[in-house]
Amino acid sequence: TQYVYRFGGNVDDKGAGNKNLLGGKGANLDGMAAIGLPVPPGFTITTEVCTAYYANGEAFPDGLAEQVANGIAHIEGVTGKSFGDPANPLLVSVRSGARVSMPGMMDTVLNLGLNDKTVEGLAASSGDARFAWDSYRRFIQMYADVVLGLDHHAFEDALEIAKEDRGYFLDTELEANDLIELVAEYKKLVEGEWGKPFPQDVNEQLWGAVGAVFASWESDRAKVYRRLNSIPGDWGTAVNVQAMVFGNMGDTSATGVAFTRDPATGENAYYGEYLINAQGEDVVAGIRTPQYLTKAAREAAGAKPLSMEEAMPEAYAELAAVFDTLERHYRDMQDIEFTVERGKLWMLQTRSGKRTAKAALKIAVDMAAEGLITKEEAVLRVDPMALDQLLHPTLDPDAPRDVLTKGLPASPGAASGQIVFDADTAERRNDMGESVILVRVETSPEDIHGMHAAKGILTARGGMTSHAAVVARGMGRPCVSGAGSLAIDNTAKVLRVSGRELKEGDVITIDGSTGEVMAGAVPTLQPELVGDFGTLMVWADAARRMKVRANAETPLDAQTARDFGAEGIGLCRTEHMFFDAARITAVRQMILADDEKGRRVALDRLLPEQRKDFAAIFEVMAGLPVTIRLLDPPLHEFLPHREEEFAEVAEAAGVGIETLKQRANELHEFNPMLGHRGCRLGVTYPEIYEMQARAIFEAACSLAVAPVPEIMIPLVGTRRELELMKEVVDKAAEAVFAEQGKRIDYLVGTMIELPRAALMADEIAEVGAFFSFGTNDLTQTTLGVSRDDAARFLTHYVDKGIYARDPFVSLDVEGVGQLIEIAATKGRKTRPDIKLGICGEHGGDPASIEFCEKTGLDYVSASPYRVPIARLAAAQAAL
C-alpha cells in the first residue's frame, strides 16, 4: 500500500486534489507544486495510516517506516541538506491535515531535526547563531508541549525569567548566548518533568511528532469540533512533513496569512496580515499584532507600520501573481499561508477560505459574473445553513449607543448579552436560557464550547485571522477581536475600559461588522433580503423542483414566511390559536363540559375567533395553498398544571375547583404522546373538528379570492379514522356552502406520522387527497424515542456514533426514510396525483431536504426563518 505521497522538486506522486486520502493540506501542497508554484519539498502520510493506527491499537502499519525514510530522502535530495547531519542539517515541519480544515484543533511541530549538534550546523550554515538557538528553543518548547505533553507554562515562565534577569522586555532582545542558556534550562525542565533527556535522535523526534499528530485527532477539543461540524470520527488526519523555510531570518524574511478576497465582506481585494522576522505560528496565535498586506488596507485603517506591498514590493508582487493563479486553478477564494525567507517567497498552504455568509454570497455571485463559475455552481457554493447568519438582525443605526471601545470587525452580526469571562460559565448560563457574550484576552481551541454557547465573542488581543476570528466566522457568531483597550481581570471577573468597570453579568452589545463594543443592549433591525442574496435566490428558485412552504399559524408568521419566499403554508397548527388569553377560557369550558351540548356552547364561542384567524391567514397568503391541521394535542395540555392556578381557572370556567381537579385527573395519561390526541380526539368529540371545519369554510367563503384550503387530519393510523373525519369535514362544508350560497374547492388529507399509516398508505390514499409527513412524530414513533425526553440521552448516542446526527434534527434516512418511501410509493399507486409534502422540523434541514428531493415529494415546509435555507437546499438537491 502506498502510505506516503511526495511533492516538490521534480517529484510528484500525484496526490493533488485527493483530499480524502491526503487531507486538505497535503492534497493542495501537491496541487500547488504540480502547477509550478514555489512549495518547499515534502511528503504526506495518508489519512488511511491514521485510521489503521487506531484500528491496530495505536501501532503504525508495516512498511510505513521504509516509505517515510524514502520521503525524507526525497526532501534531502531537493534541498541538498541531510536530516540529522551536524554539518548541513535538514529541518522539517510536521503538521496535521484532515479532509476538511479544523482550524487550531490539531497539533503542529516546527523546526524538527534540531539537537545539540545540528543546532551548531544550523548556526554555521545560516551564519546566524541567534536564529539557530532561537529555533532550537522554540522546537524544544513546542515538542515538549505537543509530543511529550508537558505543561507549557513552565517553559513560558522560564522565558519570562530569562528576560527579567537580563532586564529585557521583548523576546527579540535575547541574544545567542542568552538563548544557549535558555536551551540548557529547557532541557533541564524536560528531563525533570519527563524523566528522560530531550530526544537527540532526529528519527525518534520525527516518529514522536507523527504519533502526536495522530493523537491530536482524538483530543477532546478535536472531538467537540467534529461534533459541532458533523465530521465523522473515522476520517482521520493526514500528516505533512515538509522542509522548513524560515520567516525569522531577519528583516528580509517574513511570514503571513492571506485571503484572495475579503472573507468578511466578500469584496474582491487581497486581504491578509504578515509579520516581518517571525515564524508562522506568531501570526495565527495572535500574540504580536500583525501588519497589513496591502497599502490600501493599511491606509484605510490609518495604521502606521508598513504594509507588505510597501516593505517588500518584489515578494509582494510575486505573491499577488500566485493569488490569481490559485483562484483561477481552484475556482474559489483561497486562504493562504506563506513565508518569505531572505527575499524568496514560499507557499505553505492553500485551501478554500472560510467566509461569512455575506462573503460566501458575494463571492459566489461575483465569480459567476466574472465567468469563473456557472450560476449553478454559484448556487452549490453557498451553505444553506450559513444563510441563517444573514437572516438575523443588525443594530438599529438610529438607536442611541454607549460606545465603550472599538476593536476589529472580526465576524459580522450584532449581539447583546451578559458578560462572562470563561467558556464553562458561558455554557452554563446559556443552558439556563441566558444570552451571554464571551469576553477573553484571546481565545484558544479549549474555548470552543463556550464560543458556541455565546451569542457573541469579544477579545482584547488577536487580529482578523486569530483563532477567535476564524472560529467565530465559521460558527456564524458575531465577534470583535483585538479590542486593545480592554483590561480583563479574570480572577475578580471584571472588565475595565475607558475608565469604567463592568462585572460578570453586566449586559454589553458587540457589533461584529464595525468592531464597536457598547454598554447595555442596543435595539436591532431586521435584515434586508435584496442584493446578492436576492440574486442567488433567483438562481436557486430557477434550479429547484420542489415547492417550499412554511409552518405558520399567525398572520405575522405567515407574512414573514412570504417575505422569505414561502409558496404557501404547509402546516398551520390550530391548537396554537387556542392558547390566546381570549380563547383559553372557552377551550377550558369545552373540556370541562359534561356532555356534547355543553361542549357545543363553548365551541360556539370559539367559532368566530377561529374564523377570524383563518381569514387573516388566507388573506396574507392570497390564493396560495394553506394546509390547516385540526386539533392535535391531548386536551389536558389546555388545563392548568400548577395548584395556584386552579382556583382562578375554575372560576373563569364557571365550575367548582373540585370538578376541575377531578376532570384534570380523568384526563391524566401515562403516555400522552401515544394517548388521546390527534384524530382520536375527533373520533371521540367530532363537534370539535366540525367547529374548526366550519370556521375554515366560513373564512374561505368570505374572501374575494377564495383560497383552496387543505384540511389535514393528524395522527391517522387507519383508513377508517380518516374516512370518519372526512365525513365530518364534508358535512360542515356542505352546511356552510348551503348557508352562503356558494361553493369553494378544498382538499382533505392526512399527516403520515405513524408507522402503520406509512405501511397502509395505499388504503389511506383512497380517502386522503394528500399526505404530509409529520416527521417529528414519525421519528418518535418509529424509533420509539420520545421527542420530549430525548435530549437527555441523544447526545450520547451521537457521540457514540449510534446515530450520525440527532434524528429529530436530521432525518434518519435509513429507517424513517424507508417508511416515507413506502408511503409515497403506495400512496401514488392508489392516487397517482397525490400531493406529498413534509412538515416536521426536517423540512428545514438541508440533508433531509435532499432526501425529500430524491423521494420526489412535491414540497417541503419549514419554519419561516428557515424558508430561504430550504429554497437553497432544495435547489442544491435538484442540481
657: helix, strand or coil = helix
* Residue 753 marked as a ligand binder: yes
> Nearest approach, Cβ of 828 to ligand PEP (angstroms)?
21
Of 385-393, 512-520, 753-761, 786-794: span binding Mg ion (CB under 5 A): 753-761
Q: Would you count residue 573 as binding ligand PEP (CB under 6 A)?
A: yes
Size of the site for ligand PEP (CB under 6 A): 10
State the Cα–Cα distance between residues 100 and 547, nearest whole angstrom.
Answer: 32
> Nearest approach, Cβ of 772 to ligand PEP (angstroms)?
8
Q: Would you count residue 864 as binding Mg ion (CB under 5 A)?
A: no
Catalytic residue among 74, 449, 452, 467: 467
Out of ligand PEP, Mg ion, none, what residue 590 binds, judged by CB under 5 to 8 A for its kind, is: none
State the Cα–Cα distance between residues 640 and 649, nearest whole angstrom.
Answer: 7
Query: What Cα–Cα distance (Å) separates residue 219 from each residue in 215, 235, 801, 855?
Result: 7, 14, 17, 39
Instruction: Draw the binding track, 742-761, toward ligand PEP (x: CB under 6 A; -: no contact).
Output: -----------x--------
Cα 203 from chain centre: 40
State the Cα–Cα distance between residues 764 and 766, nearest whole angstrom.
Answer: 5
Q: Would you count residue 189 as binding ligand PEP (CB under 6 A)?
A: no
Nearest partner of 868 among 459, 417, 562, judged by Cα:
562
3-state helix vs strand vs coil in the chain, percent to 5: 50, 15, 35
Binder among 450, 476, 717, 774 for Mg ion (CB under 5 A) = 774
Query: What Cα–Cα distance (Å) separates residue 722 from each residue in 764, 771, 878?
Result: 7, 12, 33
Q: Give catalytic status of residue 576 as yes or no.
A: no
> Nearest approach, Cβ of 632 to ligand PEP (angstroms)?
6
DSSP character string of 513-560? TTTEEEES---EEPPP--HHHHHHHHHHHHH--SEEEEE--SHHHHHH
Of 286-294, 305-313, 682-690, 772-780: span binding Mg ion (CB under 5 A): 772-780
130: Cβ–Cβ under 8 A, 6 or more apart, which residues?
A: 174, 175, 176, 179
Nearest partner of 38 among 337, 439, 307, 272, judged by Cα:
337
**Closest CB to ligand PEP among 522 and 839?**
839
> Nearest approach, Cβ of 778 to ligand PEP (angstroms)?
6
Q: Between residue 694 and residue 753, which ones bind ligand PEP under the rule CB under 6 A?
A: 753
Out of ligand PEP, Mg ion, none, what residue 839 binds, judged by CB under 5 to 8 A for its kind, is: ligand PEP
For residue 660, what is the DSSP state? H
> Nearest approach, Cβ of 783 to ligand PEP (angstroms)?
13
Of 339-347, 666-674, 755-763, 769-777: span binding Mg ion (CB under 5 A): 769-777
Of 412-420, 679-687, 727-735, 771-779: span binding Mg ion (CB under 5 A): 771-779
State the Cα–Cα distance between residues 66 and 78, nearest whole angstrom.
Answer: 19
Of 336-344, 615-623, 652-660, 768-776: span binding ligand PEP (CB under 6 A): 768-776
Q: Tell me the CB-side half-sphere exposure of residue 429, using CA atoms within 13 A.
A: 21
Helix orientation angle between 202-217 and 47-55, rounded to the nearest 10 degrees: 80
Phi/psi of residue 118, each to 5°? -65, -25
**Closest CB to Mg ion among 256 and 774?**
774
What amino acid is encoded at 703 in this protein? Answer: L
For residue 33, what is the DSSP state? H
68: helix, strand or coil = helix
Catalytic residue among 679, 839, 842, 852: 839
> Nearest approach, Cβ of 573 to Mg ion (angstroms)?
9
- As given in the structure block, the three cell numbers for residue 669 are 395519561
State the Cα–Cα distance between residues 381 and 378, nearest whole angstrom.
Answer: 5
Residue 705 near residue 625, CB atoms below 8 Å:
no
**Closest CB to ligand PEP among 255 and 551?**
551
**Closest CB to ligand PEP among 788 and 833?**
788
> Nearest approach, Cβ of 431 to ligand PEP (angstroms)?
24
Q: Between residue 837 and residue 856, which ones bind ligand PEP under the rule CB under 6 A?
A: 839-840
DSSP tally for the chain: helices H, then strands E: 35, 33
Out of ligand PEP, Mg ion, none, what residue 41 binds, judged by CB under 5 to 8 A for its kind, is: none
- As given in the structure block, the three cell numbers for residue 381 are 457554493
* Residue 506 marked as a ligand binder: no
State the Cα–Cα distance between residues 451 and 471, nearest whole angstrom.
Answer: 8
Of 213-221, 429-437, 584-592, 773-781: span binding ligand PEP (CB under 6 A): 773-781
349: helix, strand or coil = strand
Out of ligand PEP, Mg ion, none, what residue 309 binds, judged by CB under 5 to 8 A for its kind, is: none
Identify the helix (H) or strand (E) that includes residue 725.
helix 719-740
* Residue 828 marked as a ligand binder: no
Q: Would you count residue 569 as binding ligand PEP (CB under 6 A)?
A: no
DSSP character string of 744-796? ---EEEEEE-SHHHHHTHHHHTTT-SEEEE-HHHHHHHHHT--TTTTHHHHHH
**Closest CB to ligand PEP among 141 and 782?**
782
Out of Mg ion, ligand PEP, none, what residue 613 binds, judged by CB under 5 to 8 A for its kind, is: none
* Residue 12 marked as a ligand binder: no
Q: Would you count residue 774 as binding ligand PEP (CB under 6 A)?
A: yes
Q: Would you count residue 775 as binding ligand PEP (CB under 6 A)?
A: yes
> Nearest approach, Cβ of 717 to Mg ion (angstroms)?
13
For residue 306, what is the DSSP state? P
> Nearest approach, Cβ of 841 to ligand PEP (angstroms)?
7
Angle, CA of 199, 202 and 204, to the nearest 5°? 60
Of 229-237, 652-660, 747-755, 848-856: span binding Mg ion (CB under 5 A): 747-755
**Closest CB to ligand PEP among 546 and 751?**
751
Q: Would you count residue 777 as binding Mg ion (CB under 5 A)?
A: yes
**Closest CB to ligand PEP among 543 and 869?**
869
Q: Between residue 619 and residue 638, which ones bind ligand PEP under the rule CB under 6 A?
A: 632
> Nearest approach, Cβ of 433 to ligand PEP (angstroms)?
22
Out of ligand PEP, Mg ion, none, what residue 866 binds, judged by CB under 5 to 8 A for its kind, is: none
> Nearest approach, Cβ of 838 to ligand PEP (angstroms)?
8
* Residue 787 marked as a ligand binder: no
Angle, CA of 831, 833 and 839, to the nearest 5°? 100
Binder among 327, 777, 845, 853 for ligand PEP (CB under 6 A) = 777
* Residue 774 marked as a ligand binder: yes
Binder among 776, 786, 830, 855 for ligand PEP (CB under 6 A) = 776
Q: Would you count residue 40 as binding ligand PEP (CB under 6 A)?
A: no
- As given in the structure block, the three cell numbers for residue 86 are 551536524
- As given in the structure block, the three cell numbers for residue 169 are 522586555
- As given in the structure block, the three cell numbers for residue 100 are 476538511
Q: Give catalytic status of residue 467 as yes or no.
A: yes
- As given in the structure block, the three cell numbers for residue 827 are 400512496
- As given in the structure block, the three cell numbers for residue 552 are 405558520
**Closest CB to Mg ion among 75 and 571?**
571
* Residue 775 marked as a ligand binder: yes
**Closest CB to ligand PEP among 280 and 840?**
840
Query: What Cα–Cα distance (Å) separates residue 787 from each residue in 674, 754, 779, 804?
Result: 12, 14, 8, 17
What amino acid is encoded at 226 in this protein? Answer: R
Of 31-39, 306-314, 341-349, 774-782: span binding ligand PEP (CB under 6 A): 774-782
State the Cα–Cα distance between residues 164 and 806, nearest whole angstrom.
Answer: 53
Residues in touch with ligand PEP (CB under 6 A): 571, 573, 632, 753, 774-777, 839-840
Active site positions, annotated: 467, 839
Residues that bind Mg ion (CB under 5 A): 753, 774, 777
Residues in the annotated binding site for substrate = 573, 629, 753, 774-777
Which residues are annotated binding-site positions?
A: 573, 629, 753, 774-777
List binding-site positions for Mg(2+).
Answer: 753, 777
